[in-house]
Amino acid sequence: MFSSILASGLAAGAIYALVGVTYNTMFSTSRVMSFTAGQLAMLGGVFGSLFTLKMGMPIVAGFVLTLIGCAIIGVITEFVAVRPVLKSLDQHLYVLSTLALALMIQQVAAIKWGTEPQPFPRLIGWGSGVLDEKFWLPVAACAITIAALEYLYRRTLVGRAFLAIAEDNFAARALGLPERNLRVASYALAGIIGGVAGFSGGELLLAFFANGALLNFYGFVPVALGGLGNNRGAVIGGLALGLFQQAANFLVGGIFSSVAVFALFIVVLLAKPQGLFGASTARRV
């Protein structure tokens, strides 16, 4: 049982971590937490199943098209729900605009794709039991994504520009960085990461429209615990959440694992609103 807890916990945790990184990627350039993060991961599964099973494309082509589709949704998020409200001083507006877009995505998926979970293809066909690919694939995807992001942020000019914008938006603009284009790019990148999360987790979560709302919450928990914009915190928090949830799931049953996760979330946030790894809040007066 221990090995199944470990396998399913790490797999679910890796998906949560990737959704958390999706949140962070959008947050870093725009200071906006978007409700579309979980929907992007849901679409990763739905698009993947659509392209490979419904349309019969090869896995690789389906994967690439899925990522492109999710990147486009990411860019649409920026144009429709983020850009118009960024200028407004009223901070709560982005919660509403991204929520509205997320609901639209979910509703279209529910009507066009159906409200039943639909199968997702076996991608590689390696492993069985606790080493089944549906368990290790999300973990591998998470590791590769983090490594690629590290490379992007540390070694490439675009990545450093992202960091500059995240660190100090005004200074970056004063240096002549194309802030708006970088923001659009980061939303496309967030879309891709969300797509990877959904595609790699497709065998575990299936292609199901309601995954969006679920992943929105479970992906946000590691971000909240790890501190906004902190990818390391999101990965550690995500894996810990997955293990905790699956352990509770196996030991005391499904409902209580949800209650336990929710209670943990509330308690940690009440004790440390800025997250376990986050910096303290900005000055108010």
Partner 1 sequence: MTAVTATPASRATADMRGALPQLAPFLGILAVAMILPFVSNDYWALIGTRAAIYWVLVSGLNLIVGFAGHLAIGYVALLTLGAYTTSVLVAGNVMPQVPVFAALPVAAFVGAVFGVVVGLPALRLRTFYFAMSTLGFATIVAQIALAWQSVTGGGIGIVGPEFPSPFNTAWGYYCLCIAFAAVCTWLSANVAHSRFGRALIAIRDAEVAAEATGISKPRMLIAIFLFAGALAAIAGGLFASLQTYITPDAFTFDLSVLFFIAILIGGRGSILGPMLGTIILTILPEIAAPLAAWSTFLYAVLLLVIVLVMPGGIAALLDFRNRRPLASNRAIVPRPAALAGCLRKSAGDKALSLRGVTLSFGNVRAIDNLDLDVEPGQIHGLIGPNGSGKTTTLNVISGYYVAGAGTIGLGDGVLPPGMPTLRAHHGIGRTFQTPRVIGEASVLQNVMIGGTIDGQATFVEALLALPRNRRDERMLANRARALLGVVGLEALADVRADRLQHSELRFIEIARALMLEPDFLLLDEPAAGLSGDEIERLAALIVAISRRGTGLLLVEHHADLIFDICDQVTVLNLGRTLAAGTPAEIRVHKEVVSAYLGG
CB 127 within 8 A of CB 59: no
CB of 95 to partner 1, least distance (A): 5
Structure tokens given for 30: 């725009």
DSSP assignment letter at 56: -
> Residue count at the site for partner 1 (CB under 8 A)?
41
CB of 38 to partner 1, least distance (A): 10
CB of 153 to partner 1, least distance (A): 24
Query: Interaction with partner 1 in 10-49: which residues (CB under 8 A)?
Result: 33
Closest-CA residue to 235 (of 277, 185, 182, 186): 277
Cβ-based nearer residue to partner 1, 55 or 111: 111
Bridge partners of 207, per DSSP, are 118
Task: Give the residue, chosen from 53, 93, 130, 148, that forms a contact with partner 1 under the rule CB under 8 A.
Answer: 93
CB 202 within 8 A of CB 44: yes
Task: Give the residue, chosen from 90, 170, 174, 280, that forms a contact with partner 1 under the rule CB under 8 A.
Answer: 90
Task: Give the residue, chosen from 59, 104, 130, 243, that forms a contact with partner 1 under the rule CB under 8 A.
Answer: 104
Identity at 174, one-letter amino acid code: A
Site track for partner 1 across 263-282, x = CB under 8 A: --xx--xx--x---------
CB 97 within 8 A of CB 76: no
Round the CA-based radius of gyration of the chain to a whole number and report it.
18
CB of 210 to partner 1, least distance (A): 9
With CB under 8 A as the contact rule, which of the stretches 6-14, 91-99, 198-206, 232-240 interacts with partner 1? 91-99
Structure tokens given for 283: 């000055």
DSSP assignment letter at 283: P
Residue 128: Cβ-neighbour burial (10 angstroms; 0-12, 13-18, 19+) = exposed
Q: Is 147 in the site for partner 1 (CB under 8 A)?
A: no
Cβ-based nearer residue to partner 1, 208 or 220: 220
Cα separation, 11 vs 30, in Å, equals 29
Residues 6+ apart with CB under 8 A from 219: 15, 16, 18, 19, 20, 22, 23, 37, 38, 41, 197, 238
Query: Interaction with partner 1 in 215-244: which residues (CB under 8 A)?
Result: 216-217, 220-221, 224
Cβ-based nearer residue to partner 1, 68 or 76: 76
Binding site for partner 1 (CB under 8 A): 33, 80-81, 84-85, 88, 90-93, 95-97, 99-101, 103-104, 106-108, 111, 213-214, 216-217, 220-221, 224, 254-255, 258-259, 262, 265-266, 269-270, 273, 284-285
